[in-house]
Structure 1
Amino acid sequence: MTKSEFIEIVAERINIPKSQAYEVVNAVFDAMKDALIEEERIELRGFGSFSIREYESRHGRNPKTGEKVKVDSKKSVHFKVGKELRERVDVLNNYN
């Protein structure tokens, strides 16, 4: 699903114009981005949580040359799926 498709679904479900749904979706995503930039944890019960994880620097390997290279430390967004969503997706596994 693309962001445009997501906006269309939101507009249809709550019966508002697409332009309004666009503003709502962007406001939600902007608020989430701002919180993550501030390294705040975001918890959406039943869906999951987003947090920032910090990774130490380490030694890696260039796959093309095999040469050892230093990989700098970094921060990355981590998503942990919520129990309700995990259970609903697990149901799909029983049908495959």
Structure 2
Amino acid sequence: MSKAFIAEVIQGSAEITGVAANRAATDLMEAIVKELKKNGKFTLPSFGTFTVRKTKARKGVNPRTGEEIKVKAGKTVRFKASPSLKKMV
């Protein structure tokens, strides 16, 4: 799924211009990111839940050189599909 696809669906559903639909898709994505930053979790009922998880620092391997490297601790976003989404798919 892409931002263009979301904008196209919004445009067809709301019968608005492409520019307005693109702006709405951008605003939607920004709102989701803002909510993830604020609460660490975002749920769309009947679709699923996005959660922010911390990752620990670890050792990795450069695939080209085989050299060991250090990977810093960070954050990642996980998605868990709702049971109703799993049934639909």
With the length of structure 2 as denominator, give the TM-score of the two structures: 0.81
Q: Report the CA distance between 1:6 and its aligned residue.
A: 2.1
The change in CA–CA distance for 1:55 and 1:37 in structure 2 (over 3 A counts) is same
In the alignment, which residue of structure 2 is the partner of 1:93? none
Q: Report the CA distance between 1:63 and its aligned residue.
A: 2.1
When Rg is computed on C-alpha atoms for both structures, the one with the higher figure is 1
Please list the CA deviations of residues 25-79 of structure 1 after superposition, one character each: whole Å capped at 9, or x if unmatched: 2221111111122243100011111111101111122222322222111101111
% identical aligned pairs: 30
Distance in 1 (alpha carbons) for counterparts of 2:58 and 2:25: 38
In the alignment, which residue of structure 2 is the partner of 1:66? 66
Structure 2: stretches of 5+ with no match in the other structure: none
Q: Report the CA distance between 1:4 and its aligned residue.
A: 2.0
Structure 1: stretches of 5+ with no match in the other structure: 90-96
In the alignment, which residue of structure 2 is the partner of 1:15? 15
Q: Report how many residues are paired.
A: 89
In the alignment, which residue of structure 2 is the partner of 1:3? 3
With the length of structure 1 as denominator, give the TM-score of the two structures: 0.77
Distance in 1 (alpha carbons) for counterparts of 2:63 and 2:20: 47
